[in-house]
Structure 1
């Protein structure tokens, strides 16, 4: 790709941070949005990385950060909606506050960032939006009602953006399985038997491994690049084969 301007939400950790590193190493300009300070000390970013503290569930903050990005770089080429949180509860256990929090961070943020990024892409005549959904948009474990709902809804948002803004703008979704991030480690820490839970998660995947976030970033890099110019409106599972095998012989 020629040098691009990329906005990444949730850029301080996990998949978002790996995406930031990936695009920086490819020589692009990256703007990271997060409520937590970014830590990219291991990368020689020079003038390539700009961090903006932003609650991406609040429109005023999103509008300001996207506007500042366009003022600084002149335009915006790629938006990666990676911000996300997990809460463990059933419908009857989930409070209204927890439901709203998960929907706001996981889903509303993607809507708001796309809303304010797309006009710049339209002005340039091209752009890509990548929504980080989850394998739980297809299959669902116990006690993740708000999370799986938010991630499933992202697929509808992806299709709507792809249909409404073609042919200038593409939109795709990626659906990871278990990824070795801080959020997953917190989930393991909450288990009664951490080692047993970890092994169960590994065994759920046909590849018998937990995906490193760098592999997810590489897929996002490809899908947002020029070689994927005919791909839009689709979702891609990078899940180690979880949920496609029927037990037994």
Structure 2
């Protein structure tokens, strides 16, 4: 599963799932470009990765920044072979409680950001004759908790974007949506802290998974790398769930006997 001489762009790659993906691609000898708004975390992370890793500060909701970042990646490593659209944010709110500006912000980052990165990366893939766009959706595109209306909308729409890219740019370009369950990330840990009893909410989340744990970021990274490799070359246009069995049991929680 070597990515030697391949260039992988990971958005939101400084922490969490993005960092897990970047670590796996780097381990497999890929050139990794991390895009993130957190400059300190991004630079520190890429320094830890070492050679073949570059950080570029980028707000994926702004087209000029996206276009410039991808051109920098191409200039540094000669092209783009894999784009992992991972950048995303989460806010707890239902439709009637969501402010318009919050709705716009979540969809701008989670959905429009993926569109903009694909828009500017795909031409380089076409020029090279091959490439793959991987969009980080969520199990919540299929089974949804309460009070996450804008987040769920953005993650569901990413599956439609994935299909469109696959249909429009086949056979040279593939596109796949990854749909994780609960992952132990800074984003989720911060979300737990918003509750009155973070430890209880964390355990309830763990209990939703039949494997009795949350995923680690590199669990997701291993799947992403497999799909991006030649070993996954027959997978296209599909949402792939990696959710520890979340959502297949009536009643949800493994322990709700």
Do the structures match in fold with TM over 0.5? Answer: yes
1:214 lines up with 2:229 in the alignment: no
Alignment: residue pair count: 248
Question: Taking structure 2 as the reference length, what is the TM-score of the superposition?
Answer: 0.94
Q: 1:113-171, CA deviations, whole angstroms, 9 ceiling, x for partnerless residues?
A: 00000000000100011000000100110000000000000000000000000000000
Task: Please give the residue correspondences for 1:179-198 in structure 2 after superposition, counting only pairs within 5 Å.
Answer: 179-198=183-202
Structure 2 Cα separation of the partners of residues 198 and 6 of structure 1: 32
C-alpha spacing 1:198/1:2, structure 2 compared with 1 (3 Å): closer
- Secondary structure of the residue aligned to 1:40 is helix
What's the RMSD between the two structures over aligned residues? 1.3
1:44, distance to aligned residue in structure 2 (A): 4.3
Instruction: Select 1:45's aligned residue among 42, 50, 58.
Output: 50
Structure 2 Cα separation of the partners of residues 62 and 42 of structure 1: 22
Aligned equivalent of 2:178: 174
> Retained in 1: the 8 A contact 2:176–2:235?
yes
Structure 1 spans left out of the alignment, 5+ residues: none
1:82 lines up with 2:93 in the alignment: no
C-alpha spacing 1:117/1:41, structure 2 compared with 1 (3 Å): closer
Task: Please give the residue correspondences for 1:224-243 in structure 2 after superposition, counting only pairs within 5 Å.
Answer: 224-243=228-247
Structure 2 Cα separation of the partners of residues 76 and 106 of structure 1: 21
Structure 1 Cα separation of the partners of residues 214 and 47 of structure 2: 23
Structure 2 Cα separation of the partners of residues 216 and 193 of structure 1: 27
Structure 2 Cα separation of the partners of residues 204 and 227 of structure 1: 31
- Secondary structure of the residue aligned to 1:175 is strand
Structure 1 Cα separation of the partners of residues 9 and 94 of structure 2: 33
Aligned equivalent of 1:5: 7
Structure 2 spans left out of the alignment, 5+ residues: none
Aligned equivalent of 2:146: 142
Structure 2 Cα separation of the partners of residues 73 and 184 of structure 1: 33
- Secondary structure of the residue aligned to 1:32 is strand
Structure 2 Cα separation of the partners of residues 113 and 157 of structure 1: 12
Aligned equivalent of 2:206: 202
1:43, distance to aligned residue in structure 2 (A): 3.7
1:72, distance to aligned residue in structure 2 (A): 2.0
- Secondary structure of the residue aligned to 2:54 is strand
Aligned equivalent of 2:136: 132
Task: Please give the residue correspondences for 1:86-105 in structure 2 after superposition, counting only pairs within 5 Å.
Answer: 86-105=90-109
C-alpha spacing 1:42/1:54, structure 2 compared with 1 (3 Å): closer
